Chain A
């Protein structure tokens, strides 16, 4: 790896001052699982690395009546094992459980993973379906954005130089909301998804009251299957409706050919896995 200088701020304020001073010449390191591999391949060559591991105040998992707040430095494994998350946002625990291996989940953090903006990761499609918001800080203040506005392109986030993710805010799920995360893995259990589907739905008898579908690994960013959502909302569940909604995702995905499958194959699998998710949540045992 190239030569660089490492800084060890203790507070958020100290971190933001360093980020402001070094701008594009600095990269934050959280768990390091993405940054280290990018640096080993010389894809990123920061002169300064700002280590977040000693920063206080980024490690919380808290809930209020309306939302769950997760500090940017909370590790994947902590989210997966958190009783609070398992009870209040079960799909988030089950999604994080599917990331890579336990060893990587012991290292990678929620903030670091989202800043990495790889659309084939597991959490983004679920957080998109959950309508999560991202809290961002810089030396000049704070802002909160919808997670849809965080992802710009493959490995590109919308953070400005000097900004960092401090917290992920997730609206609480209603107790009658059902959800599932499906990950298509034709290769190995620790792989990135070939296609992933995050589905959150609320039913009123046989009518789909609300439904949100996040798709991963099928476009430059995680996407919402909005046509499918509109197809389903307010309608009575039937095999035909589910098939029609599933078919519509083919219009919205834009996958890449790679060693996990051709673009055509992934488009087909997006339909298949959306259908399976819908069958499981809408037609499965309540």
Chain B
């Protein structure tokens, strides 16, 4: 329980690192990530949980960080876009978005890439229809959907090739 006007203690594990914070109870997760921690790769655009830009993964599952109260996140591993190339090279999805023109202005890109990563983690060989169904909730106002889907399709192909160089 916390007193009103008092800060709420918050422990988060983000991209494999532990953070101890004191935040107002009404802080959203996206604000904690961007403003309190400085992980500005997560973007907020619609602010009502519709567009997918603020997607982060909590224990591997996509959530909308703009409508998540930070203090309700408990005992969970958060992955943000900054976590994908933490150990060095870009994630295959990131490589594919670059190579296939998968973004224009970039506002939706962190969410698109995390959504695609989450898909590949759940299903390493999705069909194009499965990709479209999964990515349906990530909006792109530059209307680059063909390139986004192509980027995911080719990321799937590249990871399959990587797993089995003789395929």
Contact = CB atoms under 8 A, between A and B. Distances in A.
B125 to A, nearest CB: 18
B74 to A, nearest CB: 6
Interface string A163-200: 00000000000000000000000000110000000000
A29 interface: yes
Contacts of A189: 136
Contacts of A47: 4
A106 B25 contact: no
B39 interface: no
Contact of B52 (A36, A37, A101): A101
Interface residues of A, number: 30
A103 B55 contact: yes
B64 A107 contact: yes
A31 to B, nearest CB: 9
A136 B26 CA distance: 28
B71 A103 contact: no
Interface stretch (A4-12, A124-132, A141-149, A276-284): A4-12
Interface residues of B, number: 31
Given A8-B1, A32-B67, A36-B68, A54 B25 contact: no
Interface of B: 1-5, 8, 24-26, 28, 47-50, 52, 55, 58, 61-64, 67-69, 71-72, 74, 115, 134, 136-137
Given A37-B49, A101-B137, A107-B68, 19 more contacts: A1-B28, A7-B1, A33-B49, A36-B28, A36-B68, A36-B69, A49-B69, A51-B72, A101-B52, A102-B137, A103-B52, A103-B55, A103-B115, A104-B137, A106-B58, A107-B63, A107-B64, A190-B50, A190-B137
10 contacts: A3-B5, A6-B1, A29-B72, A37-B48, A40-B67, A51-B71, A53-B74, A77-B61, A104-B64, A107-B63
